[in-house]
């Protein structure tokens, strides 16, 4: 009986060892083919630019190409959902941003769960939006904007690239904390909003730094403040809105995700390669142009940060009864 028992143990061990031998090399060899990085925005914007710089740097570390796949639409939902439905093998990723944390509050029935549908990899970086006015605007400071909004409630207008976007919610947070009234003017995209800011048809905009950096450089727009809690190294000498409106904080951020269930060792390898990419001079230079400060920590850091952002913006959405188009 004892001999039979030991024979069974040996036989079971051999089968288990064979199974591990067949599995381990495949995991250890990751990646064995190109990786698809979905950008849920059209080509040419800030998220797209960061994704391409990240993909180039990571591919050098991983030894495989990272192919950028732009899948815009429905406020990033189309591209994000495509990743949630992909195999959990590390070969399909998404570069998420502000909308990822806000959509659960704006959309009653998302086709995926932001909490359970994805495996966090890394928080790439965080940066400010910028409060801008046209070059010849009478508003020189945040205090000027406050005085104008207080003197004529609802007369001051602020532009955004659409309902529920970062520029819109940044304006709503300003209204809430400053206890003033302003009128929101939504556009179908950022270009129309900026055109009307320059043309004087709208007064102010809490724009992403990537959208307005060149226009600040050539003098077509003037920046009054950054929206991060403290001053930004990307905008030296620029005050923060919070210096005039205490508690004000709006950040752009960029986080890398895989589908839920992606093996832990694959996540670890992707995290390691993204960290290494973030340390390259070319990548850091790209982020600096977008006003973004590199973060590049653990998957747990990304998870905690985005859950906090989701809870914070849910309050703003509900308080202001914000609906998307």
Q: Tokens 């990304």: give the residue.
A: 302
**CA 223 to centroid of chain Cα atoms:** 22
Rounded Cα distance between 85 and 111, Å, is 10
pLDDT at 2: 47
Strand extents, DSSP E, the chain: 35-39, 66-70, 92-96, 118-134, 157-160, 183-186, 204-208, 221-226, 251-259, 293-294
| Phi and psi at residue 262, to the nearest 5° | -60, 130
CB atoms within 10 A of CB 275: 17
Rounded Cα distance between 194 and 42, Å, is 18
Per-residue pLDDT 10s for the chain (325 aa) are: 545 544 454 454 444 444 444 444 444 589 999 999 999 998 887 889 899 999 999 999 999 999 999 999 998 999 999 999 999 999 999 999 999 999 999 998 999 999 999 999 999 998 889 999 999 999 999 999 999 999 999 999 999 988 888 999 999 999 999 999 999 999 988 889 999 999 999 999 999 887 888 899 899 999 999 999 999 888 888 999 999 999 999 998 999 999 999 999 999 999 999 999 998 988 888 777 777 888 889 999 999 999 999 999 999 899 888 887 6
90: helix, strand or coil: coil
- Residue among 268, 249, 263, 239 at smallest CA distance from 309: 249
Could you give the angle at which helices 209-217 and 190-198 cross, rounded to 10 degrees?
Answer: 30
| pTM (two decimals) | 0.84
Rounded Cα distance between 318 and 283, Å, is 37
Q: Tokens 């195999």: give the residue.
A: 87
pLDDT at 13: 46
pLDDT at 325: 64
Rounded Cα distance between 243 and 169, Å, is 19
Rounded Cα distance between 215 and 118, Å, is 36
| Phi and psi at residue 280, to the nearest 5° | -75, 145
Asked if 105 and 315 touch (Cβ cutoff 8 Å), the reply is: no
pLDDT at 10: 43
Q: Distance of CA 279 to CAs 61, 125, 287, 325, Å?
A: 12, 12, 11, 40
Domains recognised in the chain with CATH numbers = 34-127+251-319 (3.40.190.150), 128-243 (3.40.190.10)
The dihedral built from the CA positions of residue 259, 262, 266 and 271, taken in this order, carries a sign that is positive
CB atoms within 10 A of CB 61: 16
The residues that bridge with 37 in the sheet, in sequence order, are 68, 93
CB atoms within 10 A of CB 11: 10
- Residue 85 has what DSSP assignment? T
pLDDT at 87: 97
Q: Distance of CA 225 to CAs 160, 169, 274, Å?
A: 17, 16, 31
- Residue 76 has what DSSP assignment? G
| Phi and psi at residue 60, to the nearest 5° | -65, -35
| Phi and psi at residue 277, to the nearest 5° | -60, -40
| Phi and psi at residue 248, to the nearest 5° | -70, 130
- Residue among 148, 194, 177 at smallest CA distance from 243: 177
pLDDT at 108: 86
pLDDT at 234: 81
Q: Is the peptide bond before 141 cis (omega within 30 degrees of 0)?
A: no
């Amino acid at each position: 009986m004892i001999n039979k028992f030991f024979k069974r143990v040996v036989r079971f061990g051999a089968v288990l060892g064979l199974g591990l031998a067949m599995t381990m090399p495949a995991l250890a060899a990751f990646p064995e083919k190109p990786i698809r990085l979905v950008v849920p925005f059209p080509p040419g914007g800030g998220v797209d630019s960061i994704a391409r710089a990240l993909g180039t740097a990571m591919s050098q570390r991983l030894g495989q190409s990272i192919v950028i796949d732009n899948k815009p639409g429905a406020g990033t939902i189309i591209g994000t959902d495509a990743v949630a439905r992909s195999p959990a093998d590390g070969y399909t990723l998404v570069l998420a941003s502000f909308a990822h944390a806000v959509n659960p509050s704006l959309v009653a029935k998302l086709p995926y769960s932001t909490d359970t549908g994805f495996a966090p990899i890394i928080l790439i970086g965080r940066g400010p939006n910028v409060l801008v006015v046209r070059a010849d605007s009478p508003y020189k400071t945040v205090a000027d904007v406050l005085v104008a909004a207080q003197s004529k409630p609802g007369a001051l207008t602020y532009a955004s690239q659409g309902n529920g976007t970062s520029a819109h919610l940044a304006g709503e947070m300003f209204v809430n904390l400053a206890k003033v009234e302003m009128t929101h003017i939504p556009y179908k995209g950022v270009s129309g909003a900026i055109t009307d800011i320059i043309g004087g048809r709208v007064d102010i905009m809490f724009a992403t730094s990537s959208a307005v950096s060149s226009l600040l450089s050539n003098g077509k727009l003037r920046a009054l403040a950054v929206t991060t809690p403290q001053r930004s190294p990307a905008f030296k000498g620029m005050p923060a809105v919070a210096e005039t409106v205490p508690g004000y904080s709006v950040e752009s951020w960029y986080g890398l995700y895989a589908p839920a269930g992606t093996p832990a060792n694959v996540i670890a390898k992707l995290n390691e390669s993204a960290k290494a990419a973030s340390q390259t001079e070319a990548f850091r230079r790209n982020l600096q142009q977008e006003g973004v400060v590199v973060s590049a920590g653990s998957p747990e850091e990304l998870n905690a940060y985005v859950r906090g952002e989701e809870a914070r913006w849910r309050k703003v959405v509900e308080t202001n009864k914000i609906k998307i188009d």
